[in-house]
């Protein structure tokens, strides 16, 4: 069982510092997952490194959408998250969540996503907790996504190893037992086809490899 991605929340720091800190963590997790999926090293990559040529946060989320690892609702959450981050990071006058959401205009969208019908007595506090909920939700989504990718990789690895073993050991067995050569070849081909069907089905249904 893989460890859950942990997101430490400290709401007692200034909103700008808090938002930027959360965005750095979330983007790090997102980048790590995309690199794992594509089997690239971030430090050796232009697209996923730390240069001006690297892909944007939204581009990485859209990539996962295109690959069917995120749905449109997830991408909408990532977009709202980055809109908030960008306002705090680039607009000097934005130093509270209330000022931020006044510019982004997406607070009501967040309320709908998390099914919040009423505002509390302190709007700034409500918005702070809404952003915390969004951050935790994204961290949980990325944690589940990472587990899914690792499971799929395990299945594909098992499939590849089986095919490699068949190629390397079949002739060895036939040389040792020539009278069983034809039968063993037919049997192996049958088993290989059945296992490939099973593995393909597990990948399609996101089923763990050993169930």
DSSP symbols for 71-124: -HHHHHHHHHHHHHHHHHHH-TT--SHHHHHHHH--HHHHHHHTT--S--S-HH
Residues 27, 140 contacting (CB under 8 angstroms)? no
Here the tokens at position 176 are 């040792």
C-alpha 62/C-alpha 45 separation (Å) is 18
| pLDDT (0 to 100) of residue 2 | 39
- Among residues of the chain, what percentage have pLDDT more than 90? 33
Residues 152, 206 contacting (CB under 8 angstroms)? yes
5-36 burial: b if 16+ Cβ within 10 Å, else e: bebeeeeeeebbebbeebbebbbebbbebbbe
Residues 75, 151 contacting (CB under 8 angstroms)? no
Residue 198 has pLDDT above 80, yes or no: no
Give the mean model confidence (pLDDT) for residues 182-208: 74
Confidence band for 174, pLDDT divided at 50, 70 and 90: confident
**Average pLDDT over the chain, rounded to whole?**
83
C-alpha 19/C-alpha 23 separation (Å) is 6
Here the tokens at position 44 are 């050796």
Residue 206 has pLDDT above 70, yes or no: no
């Amino acid at each position: 069982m893989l460890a859950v991605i942990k997101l430490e929340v400290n709401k007692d720091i200034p909103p700008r510092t808090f938002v930027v800190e959360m965005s750095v963590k979330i983007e790090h997790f997102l980048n790590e997952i995309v690199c794992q999926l594509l089997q690239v090293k971030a430090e050796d990559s232009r697209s996923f490194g730390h240069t001006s040529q690297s892909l944007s946060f939204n581009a990485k989320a859209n990539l996962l959408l295109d690959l069917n690892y995120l749905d449109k609702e997830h991408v909408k959450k990532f977009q709202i998250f980055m809109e908030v981050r960008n306002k705090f990071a680039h607009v000097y006058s934005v130093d509270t969540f209330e000022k931020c959401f006044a510019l982004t205009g997406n607070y009501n969208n967040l309320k709908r996503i998390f099914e919040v019908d009423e505002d509390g007595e302190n709007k700034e506090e409500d918005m702070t907790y809404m952003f915390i909920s969004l951050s935790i939700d994204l961290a949980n989504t990325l944690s589940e996504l990472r587990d899914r990718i690792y499971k799929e990789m395990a299945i594909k690895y098992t499939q590849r190893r089986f095919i490699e073993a068949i190629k390397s050991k079949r002739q060895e067995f036939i040389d040792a037992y020539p009278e069983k050569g034809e039968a063993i070849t037919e049997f192996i081909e049958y088993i290989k086809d059945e296992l490939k069907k099973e593995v393909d089905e597990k990948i399609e249904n996101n089923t763990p490899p050993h169930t």
